[in-house]
Amino acid sequence: MGMNKYRLFLVEDDDVIAREIKLHLEKWGYEVHCAEDFGNVLAEFAARSPHLVLMDIGLPFFNGYYWCSQIRQISQVPIIFVSSAGDNMNIVMAVNMGGDDFVVKPFEPEVLSAKVQAMLRRTYAFRGQTNVMEWDGLILDLTDASLLVEGQKLDLTKNEFRILQLLFENAGRTVSREAIMKRLWDNDCFVDDNTLTVNMTRLRKKLEGAGAGQLIHTQKGLGYIIGE
């Protein structure tokens, strides 16, 4: 999956506005999911694992600030607040709650897409080449050696991180056990065949626990591969 197909999660309870925003952003090639259950926005967020959230402030049940703070407990994904002028949009409040930007209704669709584009570029593209690798919605963060699965951060050991990094770099290609051991040796982790097996087993258990058990496939006698 290429990085150009960003997933956006739109939390807007006015169907007309939601549809307008969705259609406009889809024209730009984004994948847009609209929240459906406003009593449980966090679960939908986790299931969608989006790259960016557009969050209305005036919502049924709980307001956008509340959901923003809930999302912030599990994810650093960029959040843009969408507010009506009547919401008494409080910039300080938005920033304190973990929002990254905001746009006030009524707005030109172009203004929104420009903000979305800038935010995605700032968050992913500049880091993209160096600090983040992505495969099928899973994001490997090289800055803090963690894997983001459905908005949930998995902390990895040094070895687990280096194994995943090598597999991500070669996504779609088989990586031999020798290549993995060499990568670990180059980084002063002395690993024999046995230790590698233990490491792989532990890493897979960790992935499974987060619902990403299908990430790494074993190719008997050849090595491991991410993706077919």
The chain-wide mean pLDDT, for the chain, equals 84
Bridge partners of 33?
A: 9
Find the helix or strand (DSSP H, E) in which 139 lies.
strand 138-141
Across residues 147-151, what is the average pLDDT? 82
pLDDT in tens, 23-51: 999 988 889 999 999 998 988 888 888 89
- What does the alpha-carbon distance between residue 214 and residue 136 come to, in Å, rounded to a whole number? 11
pLDDT for residue 86? 57
pLDDT of residue 90: 65
Contacts of 184 (CB under 8 A, 6+ apart): 159, 162, 163, 190, 191, 196
Q: Does the structure show a pLDDT above 50 at 1? A: no
Classify each residue of 5-39 as buried b or exposed e, where b means 16 or more C-beta atoms within 10 Å of its C-beta. Answer: ebbbbbbbeeeebbeebbebbeeeebebbbbeebe
pLDDT of residue 3: 42
* Mean pLDDT value of segment 50-58: 91
Name the residue with tokens 């990430």.
215
Q: Where are the alpha helices (DSSP H) in the chain?
A: 15-27, 41-48, 64-72, 91-96, 109-120, 126-128, 158-169, 177-186, 193-209
pTM of the model: 0.55
Q: How confident is the model at residue 9 (pLDDT cuts 50, 70, 90)?
A: very high
Predicted local distance difference test score (pLDDT) of residue 104:
82
135 within 8 A of 164, measured Cβ to Cβ = no
Share of the chain above pLDDT 90, in %: 29
Kindly list the distances between the CA atom of residue 42 and the CA atoms of 58, 73, 106, 132, 154, in Å, as whole numbers in the listed order: 16, 10, 26, 24, 18
Quick one: what percent of the chain has pLDDT higher than 70? 90
pLDDT (tens digit per residue) in 81-120? 888 765 655 666 777 777 888 888 888 888 888 889 888 8
pLDDT in tens, 128-148: 445 677 777 788 887 778 888
* pLDDT, position 128: 44
pLDDT beyond 60 at 152: yes
Asked whether the beta carbons of 160 and 206 are under 8 A apart, the reply is: yes
